Structures are given as structure tokens and as C-alpha cells.
Amino acid sequence: MLIAVRAEVESVDHWREKFKTHVDLFKSQGVSLAHMGAADDKTVIAVFETNDADEFARIFNDPATAEAMSEDKITGGVEMFVLDETFKP
């Protein structure tokens, strides 16, 4: 299952560095791989491969995740998307 999280940050470079320090948190969410990208210098996205979307969502809404986001200097605009459909043109 793929889950995408979009957010606004103070600094993409800071976010990229701090994001990679949350290994234990991501593993607890069943994450096996995370793809990272940026739309501009303030907007980022992470696409997570997880084996448990429900557990991912539960922990995503936990105070530990809010603390991790604070360390990453996420300023707002956080959105989570479950990518539950594939289309091949």
C-alpha cells in the first residue's frame, strides 16, 4: 500500500536531513521504503510503502508523529493520501 504525505516546511534541506532520523517511527508504521520530493523550497512530499495502512494512519495521528514533524520544521499544510488505485494508460 502506498501513502503520500504532503506538507509545508521552513526548509526543504532541513526537512530532508531530519526526515531520515525517524527510522524507528517509520518502521512502527510498517514502512519499508519512503520516496521524498519537493515542489518548491517550501512544499514537500513523501510517499511511503507500508504493509499496514491502518497502523500507519493511527501512528500518523499520534503525538510522537507531531513531535517528529516539529523537529522537521513542518509549518503546516499537512495532508495524507492513501494511494489505493493504479491506472496504466
Q: Per-residue pLDDT tens for 6-53?
A: 999 999 999 999 999 999 999 999 999 999 999 999 999 999 999 999
pLDDT of 39 reads: 97
User: How far lies 89's CA from each of 84, 86, in Å?
Assistant: 17, 10
Helix (H, G, I), strand (E, B) or coil at 71: helix
The pLDDT value given to residue 29: 96
- What is the reported pLDDT for 41? 95
Fold type of domain 2-83? Alpha-Beta Plaits (3.30.70)
- Give the per-residue pLDDT at 65: 95
**What residue segments make up the domains of the chain, in order of their start?**
2-83
Q: What is the predicted pLDDT for the residue at 7?
A: 98
pTM comes to 0.93
Distance CA 15, CA 44 (A): 8
According to the model, what pLDDT value does residue 3 have?
A: 98
